[in-house]
Chains A and B, each alone.
Chain A
């Protein structure tokens, strides 16, 4: 069970969003959509404390954190329970695919190296990259790098995996394999929050779609309801624009 209460983030005078409440139960898959610059990514980053929120409380499992009085230990614990998948992969360039996945288990969870490597191999198997165990990121395709990025997040054994536009910087030919892996995780009921512009993915996979605009959550509903009968004018406007056939929207 994950919950955000009253999460607010400002950059200087600019309020990105304020007083966001959101909660999801274990095994739930949430897709967050909305126009660029509405703070979707920032919201994810607040959950992982890559950005410090300016107000609010976070709860992940039995860990409750008041963001304004979070200790160093709170932050580290929170991060270990919320894994992050980055738009630009963020793989460690000096480590192999295997080491990228085992690093957190060794350094943070203090698992013995052999055990961590064995677990990392299992994960490589699941993400279909067993034969790339000893490859360095520079020699992997974008799609393979992002799958390793997801593998690293899986290794954290976190309560939730946060995906920040995981396919946005991929060449089109790699998008499907990454979405495929995410769907596989969804089938296994991995709890996740996904920020994406892949509407088809949202439709197929999400239990709930959250639409963000103007510094807040405008509406949230199961995908069928949100895509076919959006309640708010802003949602309708956004969906019209993004679902319009290519070319038409650019006119």
Chain B
């Protein structure tokens, strides 16, 4: 049977690592949003040279496992650039998550931009708006709405992916669970509990996502 008392006692211990997990996910998401918007606009506007580099970037970060990328940043890069020897596990994890997820998100945002009716672009240009005014005021606000469900999914995925930071020696939620379990030998209880914590976190976010979508869809009700 499950040792419920042990689980109850472990709960506050594990919850104290929640802020670190959320911090890593939020910071990585913040930078990933900026980077992916940039990549998407470059791809849509077909900026010479940069477009090619974006393609290469997206191809690499989508084409290799996240774990491999994390190991490359944490264990591999310092070999090449010696000043990076001081890179912490948290920094390497945030960097890896940012780059990895921005590659995926860029494609979603690009698809959202391309999906916006061409006639709105022409209308904006016809009244004398510049390309950047068009992007800022017409295209991106609408693309944001279209891309939001997908981007929220990536955020949820990213929260779970922070658990990989434990392989870089970071004691976050997963790392802490591993340590506790190794001490108590109650693996089932510990990992079941951490699974429930991740699950609950994702459920809260999904609820927030639904609210956000209702808000964003306000303008489109018939």
Residues of A within 8 A of B (CB): 48, 50, 76-77, 79-80, 83-84, 86, 88-96, 103-104, 107-108, 136, 138-139, 149, 152, 156
A139 touches B142 (CB 8 A): no
Task: Please name all residues of chain A whose beta carbon is closer than 8 Å to the beta carbon of B219 when the two chains form the complex.
Answer: 93-96, 136, 138
> Which of B117, B127, B130, B221 is the one whose CB lies under 8 Å from A152?
B127
Task: Please name all residues of chain A whose beta carbon is closer than 8 Å to the beta carbon of B117 when the two chains form the complex.
Answer: 88, 90, 93
Chain A residue with the shortest CB-CB distance to B219: A136
Task: Please name all residues of chain A whose beta carbon is closer than 8 Å to the beta carbon of B125 when the two chains form the complex.
Answer: 50, 79
Task: Please name all residues of chain A whose beta carbon is closer than 8 Å to the beta carbon of B122 when the two chains form the complex.
Answer: 50, 84, 86, 90
- Number of cross-chain contacts by CB at 8 Å: 78
Number of interface residues, chain B, beta carbon within 8 A:
23
Q: Enumerate 11 A-B pairs (CB-CB under 8 Å) in ascending A order.
A: A77-B128, A79-B127, A80-B127, A86-B119, A86-B123, A90-B117, A92-B138, A93-B142, A95-B219, A103-B127, A138-B222
- Interface hits, B126-175 → A, CB 8 Å: 126-130, 133, 137-138, 141-142, 145
> Which of B129, B133, B220 is the one whose CB lies under 8 Å from A93?
B220
Task: Please name all residues of chain A whose beta carbon is closer than 8 Å to the beta carbon of B123 when the two chains form the complex.
Answer: 84, 86, 90-92, 149, 152
CA distance A92 to B138 in the complex (A): 7
Task: Please name all residues of chain B whose beta carbon is closer than 8 Å to the beta carbon of A103 when the two chains form the complex.
Answer: 127, 137
Whether B197 sits at the interface, judged by CB under 8 Å, is no
Q: Contact mask B10-41 → A, CB, 8 Å, 1/0?
A: 00000000000000000000000000000000
Chain B residue with the shortest CB-CB distance to A152: B127
Report the minimum CB–CB distance from B111 to chain A (whole Å): 17
CA distance A67 to B48 in the complex (A): 25
Most buried by A among B116, B119, B126: B126
Whether B124 sits at the interface, judged by CB under 8 Å, is yes
Task: Please name all residues of chain A whose beta carbon is closer than 8 Å to the beta carbon of B145 when the two chains form the complex.
Answer: 94
Chain A residue with the shortest CB-CB distance to B144: A94
Chain A residue with the shortest CB-CB distance to B220: A138
- Interface hits, B95-121 → A, CB 8 Å: 116-117, 119-120
Task: Please name all residues of chain B whose beta carbon is closer than 8 Å to the beta carbon of A136 when the two chains form the complex.
Answer: 219-221
CA distance A136 to B219 in the complex (A): 6
Report the minimum CB–CB distance from A137 to chain B (whole Å): 9
CA distance A92 to B222 in the complex (A): 15
> Which of A77, A80, A92 is the one whose CB lies under 8 Å from B120?
A92
Q: Contact mask B203-222 → A, CB, 8 Å, 1/0?
A: 00000000000000001111
Report the minimum CB–CB distance from B136 to chain A (whole Å): 9
- Interface hits, B66-111 → A, CB 8 Å: none
Task: Please name all residues of chain B whose beta carbon is closer than 8 Å to the beta carbon of A76 when the two chains form the complex.
Answer: 128, 130
B124 touches A80 (CB 8 A): no
Most buried by A among B122, B129, B219: B219
Task: Please name all residues of chain A whose beta carbon is closer than 8 Å to the beta carbon of B138 when the two chains form the complex.
Answer: 92, 94-95
A90 touches B221 (CB 8 A): no
CA distance A107 to B125 in the complex (A): 12
CA distance A41 to B63 in the complex (A): 45
A108 touches B127 (CB 8 A): yes
CA distance A107 to B124 in the complex (A): 10
CA distance A91 to B120 in the complex (A): 6
Most buried by A among B127, B129, B221, B222: B127
CA distance A66 to B33 in the complex (A): 42
> Which of A77, A91, A107 is the one whose CB lies under 8 Å from B133?
A107
Given A103-B137, A138-B222, A139-B222, decide whether A93 and B127 contact each other with a Cβ distance below 8 A.
Answer: no
Report the minimum CB–CB distance from B62 to chain A (whole Å): 30
Report the minimum CB–CB distance from A167 to chain B (whole Å): 16
Report the minimum CB–CB distance from A75 to chain B (whole Å): 9
CA distance A48 to B222 in the complex (A): 32
Report the minimum CB–CB distance from A42 to chain B (whole Å): 13
CA distance A94 to B145 in the complex (A): 10
A107 touches B137 (CB 8 A): yes
CA distance A86 to B125 in the complex (A): 12
Given A93-B220, A136-B219, A138-B222, decide whether A104 and B119 contact each other with a Cβ distance below 8 A.
Answer: no
CA distance A136 to B222 in the complex (A): 9
Given contacts A90-B122, A107-B137, A108-B133, 10 further A-B contacts (CB under 8 A): A79-B127, A80-B127, A84-B123, A88-B117, A93-B117, A93-B220, A108-B127, A136-B221, A138-B221, A139-B221
